[in-house]
Chains A and B, each alone.
Chain A
Amino acid sequence: GESVGLHLPTLSVQEGDNSIINCAYSNSASDYFIWYKQESGKGPQFIIDIRSNMDKRQGQRVTVLLNKTVKHLSLQIAATQPGDSAVYFCAENWGYGKLTFGQGTILTVHP
């Protein structure tokens, strides 16, 4: 049988390029969104978050954009490095701390 893992969206970039990872969320009432990075064999690591009353937030080399009209979230990584290779998950807060995670995107950075 097929492995579910083979169906994750993938993004391959060259070192130094900018990366854009996209996510569609489902609950228009979600008030808080988070991006996590998960390396092989490790737990998810917090990258950046954004409240629903914002449309953009910047961190170190990362920017999150939120479009509530189409329920879309994106993570932009500037000057991508090999250490950025991982699976990236978006998560939405359904209220009272209950996070619902998206499918995940595999980012591969080639030196």
Chain B
Amino acid sequence: EAGVAQSPRYKIIEKRQSVAFWCNPISGHATLYWYQQILGQGPKLLIQFQNNGVVDDSQLPKDRFSAERLKGVDSTLKIQPAKLEDSAVYLCASSLDVAGIGNTIYFGEGSWLTVV
């Protein structure tokens, strides 16, 4: 079974530029998550989708971050304009349904962003 796919793996941009990350979840998984992981810390949830609807985006900095999952499969996360503190790994994850016993959350390898 293919895992969660993310691209690009690495991106370096200057502050105030924009960047977009793409995610393809495990086939059949209804729930998709974007996490931000700053070096030395655990992942922090940015946004959670159930099919093509947003379940939780309370920790998404909406003045600069946006995400969509238009057809309920692939998702994109965009940052515009980027700030230095956005340097982090952006992890996409998916689960069959809302996470719980039997609905394990599987993570992709992450997209590493450096803002200079």
Residues of A within 8 A of B (CB): 3-8, 31-32, 34, 36, 41-46, 49, 51, 89, 91, 93, 96-104
Contacts and interface: CB of A to CB of B under 8 A. Distances in A.
Contacts, number: 73
A99 B45 contact: yes
Contacts of A93: 99-100
Contacts of B100: 31-32, 93, 97
Nearest to B40: A5
Interface string B88-102: 000101010011110
B42 A96 contact: no
Interface size class of B (residues with CB under 8 A): 20 to 34
Looking at B31, B40, B93, which has the most chain A CB atoms within 10 Å of its CB?
B40
Q: Which secondary structure characterizes the binding site on chain A? A: mixed
Contacts of A45: 107
Given A43-B91, A43-B110, A97 B38 contact: no
A45 B109 CA distance: 10
A98 B105 CA distance: 10
A6 B107 contact: no
